[in-house]
Amino acid sequence: MIRSKKSLRAFAALAGVAALTLSACGTSGGSSDNNSNASGDCTTKLAFLGPKTGDAANLGINIINGAKVALDEYNKANSDCKVTMDEFDSQGDPEKATPLAAKIISDKDIIGVVGPTFSGESDATGPAFSEAGLPTVSASATNPDLTTHGWKTFHRVLGNDATQAPAVASYIQNTLKAKKVMVVDDASEYGKGLADGVRDDLKNLVTSTDTVQQKQTDFSATVTKAKASGTDVFFYGGYYAEAGLLAKQLKQGGYTGTFVSGDGSLDPGFISAAGASAANGAVLTCPCAPSPADFTSKYKALNGTDPGTYSAEGFDAANIFLQGIKDGNSTRSKMLDWVNSYDAEGITKNIKFDSTGEVSDVVIYAYKVENGKITPGTPIQQ
């Protein structure tokens, strides 16, 4: 469902945070008639779980910085009882995320998690968070299977790959008018899942496939296969570090088709790795919304840089918890109930979760690389 209410959403969500009263933090005894608290519990915390370092660190940092805007707005309105967010750097690695999740769970002051960031680490930590009753809201994990495991605590504020893949296929077929397509993935849970969905939706248009690996740097075999394939579109399911190198080597190898990738590649790091010339003309899709102007100015003032992929979703994810704290939910069980029943305008969309944790309002955007920059995304019409 495509909507065009970004300005209203930005105003509503940011005004909502600014309007939070000085009775910020909840108590286990619930809230008063006006939804504020008679006495504050200032030990309440949030946590972030995802990459701050590593090959895909930018995507995690974007979320952290978006969440910081929400926290800054909240804490300015509630200076006597501020909420903090502990940051846990998984490097996007499921094996590193697992002990960090245990550490988060052991801290009883943490009542909500912004994250996990990636699908693999979400899959690895989901059972533990569910068993602990600790609600999580991811701003970026998109593998469809994550909401099929029966976890009671997992939520995400953007569409999954089962919604992105058909939109990508539609764009390739109807906008790019592709006659033959090559589909390549990085063998990760996210990358392979998205690429498989695109391949299945394009059906006979896919005439060549290949698989590479994360951290791979030599893609000569894939380039040779792509050039021989005669395809006019090359789709890659994976993250920006490898995507950029692939685009660069494809260009160097003489491949002339359009490079298309998903949200894992939607980062200036893609252009840095590819070089402006090879990146030019690439199409990067995402279930993430362009940042509204008001949020962009606040983000830049606080973080010293423009928002990136998932920054606005990071704001929305954190704001769900902050609104819950404001409403008097200071325990994990109460916060989980709050998140499950949440229904309000964010800066990216109206946020309401179904019984599995999927967000009800989904829009997929296409971002183009032009003159060495990623242009604002436009909704893909299906």
pLDDT in tens, 93-145: 999 999 999 999 999 999 999 999 999 999 999 999 999 999 999 999 999 99
Q: What is the mean pLDDT of residues 173-184?
A: 98
Could you tell me if 60 and 117 are in contact, meaning their C-beta atoms sit under 8 angstroms apart?
Answer: yes
Domains of the chain: 6-160+289-352 (3.40.50.2300), 161-286 (3.40.50.2300)
Structure confidence by residue, pLDDT tens digits, 327-338: 999 999 999 999
pLDDT at 40: 52
CA–CA gap between residue 243 and residue 259 (Å, rounded):
9
Residues 6+ apart with CB under 8 A from 79: 22
Instruction: Supply the DSSP string of 145-206, one letter for each residue.
Output: GGGSS--SSEEESS--HHHHHHHHHHIIIIIS--SSEEEEE-SSHHHHHHHHHHHHHHGGGE
What's the mean pLDDT when you consider all of the chain? 90
pLDDT of residue 6: 35
Q: Token match 């946590």: residue?
A: 47
pLDDT value for 382: 80
Contact between 288 and 262 under an 8 Å Cβ cutoff? The reply is no
Instruction: For residue 228, give every residue at least 6 positions away whose Cβ sits within 8 Å of its Cβ, in sequence order, or none.
Output: none
Residue type, 49: L
Alpha helix positions (H), the chain: 6-18, 57-77, 94-106, 119-132, 161-170, 189-202, 220-229, 240-252, 268-274, 276-279, 293-303, 311-326, 332-340
Among candidate residues 303, 293, 286, 364, the one with its CA nearest the CA of residue 10: 293
Q: Which residue has the higher pLDDT, 6 or 250?
A: 250
Q: What is the pTM of this model?
A: 0.83
pLDDT digits (tens, 9 = 90+) for 298-343: 999 999 999 999 999 999 999 999 999 999 999 999 999 999 999 9
b/e string for 299-321 if b means 16 or more Cβ within 10 A? beeebeeebbbbbbbbbbbbbbb
What are φ and ψ of residue 104, in 5° steps?
Answer: -60, -45
**268 vs 32, more confident:** 268
Contact between 243 and 251 under an 8 Å Cβ cutoff? The reply is: no
Residue pLDDT, tens place only, 80-91: 889 999 999 999
Give pLDDT, residue 12. 40
Lowest mean pLDDT among 11-25, 152-166, 268-282, 361-375: 11-25
Look up residue 211 and give its amino acid. T
| pLDDT, tens digit (0-9, with 9 covering 90-100), for 235-259 | 999 999 999 999 999 999 999 999 9
Residue 197 vs residues 200, 201, 289, 374, 381: alpha-carbon distances, Å: 5, 6, 21, 24, 18
- Which one-letter amino acid corresponds to residue 168? V
